[in-house]
Amino acid sequence: MNRDELGRLLQRWGEPAYRARQAADARRAGAAGWDEVTAFPLALRARLVEHIPFRSMEPQGEVASPDGTVKWTLRAPDGAAVETVLIAHAAGRRTVCVSSQAGCALACRFCATGAMGPGRDLTADEIVEQALLARARAEATGARLANVVFMGMGEPLQNLDAVLGACDQLADGSEGLGISPRRIAISTVGWVPGIARLARHPATVRLAVSLHAADDATRSALMPVNLRYPIANLLAACRRYCDTTGRRVFIEYLLLDGVNDAPADARRLASLLRDGRFHVNLIEYNPTAGPDRASPPERRRAFQAALRRAGIEASVRRSRGADVAAACGQLALEPQTVQAARPSLK
Ligand code: SAH
C-alpha cells in the first residue's frame, strides 16, 4: 500500500492517526486486502475497497519452474512493472529476489534488464510488497522466507533511500518482517557513491559487487559503468566498506565463454583481491539475447581451482529458474526475448 496516500485519505475522512499503523501491522501480518484488516470497522474496510488499492503493485501473472522457482510480474497503477522471483532451497527455506527499479539504466551487455533501458525507482513499500507476496507463497507451502536478495531488476544503489527503507521494514524488530539483516543481500553493479553510503548505514546487510572481469578493458566492454568507476576505484570503495563495517564483500563473477574465463583471468582476479576480505561467487551465465555464452563446466572448475590455489575463497552459484526466464539477468518482462536465445538450455 502507498502509506502516504493512505494516511492523507484517512486524515481527510477524520479517522484517528493510529489507523495507518494498524493497516501497516495487518499488512505485515499477511493481510491480502482491506477486508482482512480486522482492526478496522467493517464500514471503513468497505469504504477503503472503493477508494484505494490495498497493494501498491498488483501481481499480474506468474510462472513456475519444476525446480521450485516462481516468478511474478507486478504492475503499479502508473504502468511501471517489475518481476519478483521466489527461489526454493532444501529444508523448506526460500529466498526472494526483489527488484528495486522498473528497468535499468546501466546497460550491462549480458543482462536482459539492462537491454530494457531505464525505468522508475520503486518505493520502499513497493519493494517490501514483493517480499510479502513471496512470504505468503512460501508459507502456503509450509516453507519459510529466510533470505532477501536485491538481485532483481534495477540497480539498488541508485535507489538507496528506498532500498534502505525497505531493509528497515524487512529486518527484525517489532516493526519488521523478522528477516535477519545478515540474510539480506544488496547486489550492485559497482556504483561507488552508493557503496560509501551503505558503509555508513547501521543495517548489517550483506554487500555483493558484480565485478565480472579482472581488467578494465574487458569490464568496460561488458559493463559501461566501468568507464565511470573503473576497477581500482571500485575495489578501493569495497576495501573502505570492509574497514568501516568489519564485514566482507561478496564478489560476483559471471563466467563467459572466451571473454573472462581464462586461467590468466583467474590469476589477475586473485591478485586484485589479495589482502582483501572478499569471497568470490562464480556465476553461471543465463542466456539472454546478448552475444555471450556460458563457460563450459571444465573451464569453470579450473577457474575456481585457480582462485583457491591463490588463497581466494570461491564458490559456484548454480543457476535456478532459467527455464522460465526467472534466473539472474533474465528479468525483462518479456519471456520471448529469452526464449529466442535458449537453444543451449536443456
Ligand atoms: N544491478 C545489480 C543487481 C541486479 S543483477 C547488479 O548489477 O549487481 C544481479 C546479478 O545477476 C548481478 O551480479 C548481475 O551481474 C547478474 N547477471 C546479470 N545478467 C546475468 C546473466 N545473463 N546470467 C547470470 N547472471 C547475470
Q: Is the CB of 189 under 6 A from ligand 1?
A: yes
Domain 1-54, CATH among 2.70.98, 2.40.360, 1.10.150, 3.10.450: 1.10.150
Q: pLDDT by residue (tens digit) across 63-114?
A: 998 888 999 999 999 999 999 999 998 889 999 999 999 999 999 999 998 8
Residue nearest to atom 25 of ligand 1 (CA): 328
> What does the alpha-carbon distance between residue 326 and residue 152 come to, in Å, rounded to a whole number?
9
pLDDT exceeds 60 at position 36: yes
> What does the alpha-carbon distance between residue 190 and residue 229 come to, in Å, rounded to a whole number?
7
Report the separation in Å between the CA atom of 329 and the middle of ligand 1, taken as the mean of its atom positions: 5
Q: Using CB atoms within 10 A of its CB, is residue 316 exposed (0-12), middle (13-18) or buried (19+)? A: middle
> What does the alpha-carbon distance between residue 88 and residue 96 come to, in Å, rounded to a whole number?
9
Judge contact between 317 and 284, C-beta under 8 A.
yes
Q: Identify the H or E element spanning 127.
A: helix 124-140
Residue nearest to atom 9 of ligand 1 (CA): 151
> What does the alpha-carbon distance between residue 252 and residue 129 come to, in Å, rounded to a whole number?
26
pLDDT exceeds 50 at position 342: no
| Cβ atoms within 10 Å of 291's Cβ, excluding its own | 10
| Of 157, 158, 283, best ligand 1 pocket probe by most atoms within 8 Å of the beta carbon | 283
| Of 69, 106, 148, 151, best ligand 1 pocket probe by most atoms within 8 Å of the beta carbon | 151
| Of 100, 106, 111, best ligand 1 pocket probe by most atoms within 8 Å of the beta carbon | 111
Judge contact between 51 and 1, C-beta under 8 A.
no
Report the separation in Å between the CA atom of 232 and the middle of ligand 1, taken as the mean of its atom positions: 20
Q: pLDDT by residue (tens digit) across 124-173?
A: 999 999 999 999 999 999 999 999 999 999 999 999 999 999 999 999 76
> What does the alpha-carbon distance between residue 324 and residue 309 come to, in Å, rounded to a whole number?
36
Backbone φ and ψ of 279, nearest 5°: -125, 130
How is domain 56-344 classified at the architecture level of CATH? Alpha-Beta Barrel (3.20)
Q: Is the CB of 101 under 6 A from ligand 1?
A: no
> What does the alpha-carbon distance between residue 233 and residue 249 come to, in Å, rounded to a whole number?
15
Judge contact between 99 and 83, C-beta under 8 A.
yes
Residue nearest to atom 4 of ligand 1 (CA): 151
Q: Where in the chain is the domain with CATH 3.20.20.70?
A: 56-344
Report if pTM > 0.75: yes
pLDDT exceeds 70 at position 336: no
Residue nearest to atom 15 of ligand 1 (CA): 210
pLDDT exceeds 50 at position 202: yes
Q: Is the CB of 226 under 6 A from ligand 1?
A: no
Q: Where in the chain is the domain with CATH 1.10.150?
A: 1-54
**β-pair partners for 83:** 73
Q: Is the CB of 159 under 6 A from ligand 1?
A: no
Q: Residue 334: its pLDDT value, please?
A: 64
Contacts of 262 (CB under 8 A, 6+ apart): none
- Name the one residue in this structure whose C-alpha cell is 529444508: 91
Q: Using CB atoms within 10 A of its CB, is residue 274 exposed (0-12), middle (13-18) or buried (19+)? A: exposed
Angle between helix 231-245 and 192-200 (nearest 10):
0
Judge contact between 259 and 218, C-beta under 8 A.
yes
Q: Is the CB of 286 under 6 A from ligand 1?
A: yes
pLDDT band at 329 (very low <50, low <70, confident <90, very high): confident
